Amino acid sequence: MQIDLLVSVVIPYYKHFKYIEHTIESVFSQTYKNIELIVVDDGSNDGENDILQTLNKRFPFKLYRKDNGGVSSALNYGIKRSKGEFIAIIGSDDIMLPERIAKQVSVLLAKKNLYGCGTYVERIDERGRFINRINPRLPASLDFDYFYSNKFYFPAPAAMYRYTALKSVDFFSENEVIEDWDLCLKLTASGGELILIDSVTTQYRLHLSTSNNYLKMYKGVINVAKKYSYKSKIKYYNIFWYQLAKYVFKSIKAGQYKTAFTILSVMVFDNDRLS
């Protein structure tokens, strides 16, 4: 392995002061050591962001602050200031297991044509307690049609990409809510190859502050599905009906009955009702 190859880890941070210390510690606990860590504070502005200054005295990471623009904006801000050949993404409430970077670098070095690779995750609660390792079977191919489906799996907080691949598609789309899905579609639509490693390398944290704005998420899914429908063998309405049912169910389960009704109204008034 090229131990001199620099990997840039980018953390988009927004009000995760309870968890960010553990995330940063996990990056500096990697067995692969040639890492630059970039933390982008996406306009927290509520007093708690002093935790980043305190942590910056203990850990040598690059800290940037910007006005709030969303996850994709923060990711792009950090990626464009990075110096690494590979870009690893991790949420500011998630945890890297010690071998993650080493495993992903090894895969990307072995296959020069790869645009990026993901891994499986395990889920933990807000206290860091194990929930499960329920993950789908490893697919044979992660091509465009795989990602343009209702069953694709490529966990955003466990992804690593070549910088050149991200640059070739103009990085993350900042006007998309489901920015990770959009990126995978952009990369594979351009002819890039992504793979999934059959290994759990990241702990994905589930907690009360995890987004449950189901109307916003549904709109985001539909926007991306519409954008790429021209290229896929899979019919757009297969995505549409599946996601409608999924988010109506989620909304009802969460007691968000008004949201469920608004999503259901697209059956009569079409998607323009959501804009």
pLDDT at 273: 46
pLDDT at 85: 97
- pLDDT per residue as tens digits for the range 190-241: 999 999 999 999 999 988 655 578 888 899 999 999 999 988 877 888 888 8
Q: Which pTM value belongs to this model?
A: 0.91
pLDDT at 270: 57
Angle (deg, nearest 10), helices 236-253 and 214-228: 170
Between these two residues, 252 and 49, which has the higher pLDDT value? Answer: 252
pLDDT at 20: 95
pLDDT average, residue stretch 136-155: 90
CA 233 to each of CA 5, 42, 83, 227: distance values in angstroms, whole numbers, following the listed order? 39, 38, 38, 14
Contacts of 269 (CB under 8 A, 6+ apart): none
Tokens of 48: 């708690």
pLDDT average, residue stretch 91-113: 96
Tokens of 77: 């801000």
pLDDT at 249: 92
Q: Is the pLDDT of residue 27 over 50?
A: yes
Tokens of 150: 């209702």
Q: Supply the mean pLDDT for the chain.
A: 91
pLDDT at 214: 87
Say how far apart CA 24 and CA 18 lie, in whole Å.
12
Q: Is the pLDDT of residue 174 over 80?
A: yes
- pLDDT per residue as tens digits for the range 109-135: 999 999 999 999 999 999 999 999 999
Contacts of 143 (CB under 8 A, 6+ apart): 188, 193
pLDDT at 267: 60
Q: Is the pLDDT of residue 23 over 80?
A: yes
Binned at pLDDT 50, 70 and 90, residue 188 comes out as very high
Binned at pLDDT 50, 70 and 90, residue 11 comes out as very high
CB 199 within 8 A of CB 242: no
Q: Is the pLDDT of residue 274 over 50?
A: no
pLDDT at 241: 87
Q: Is the pLDDT of residue 272 over 60?
A: no
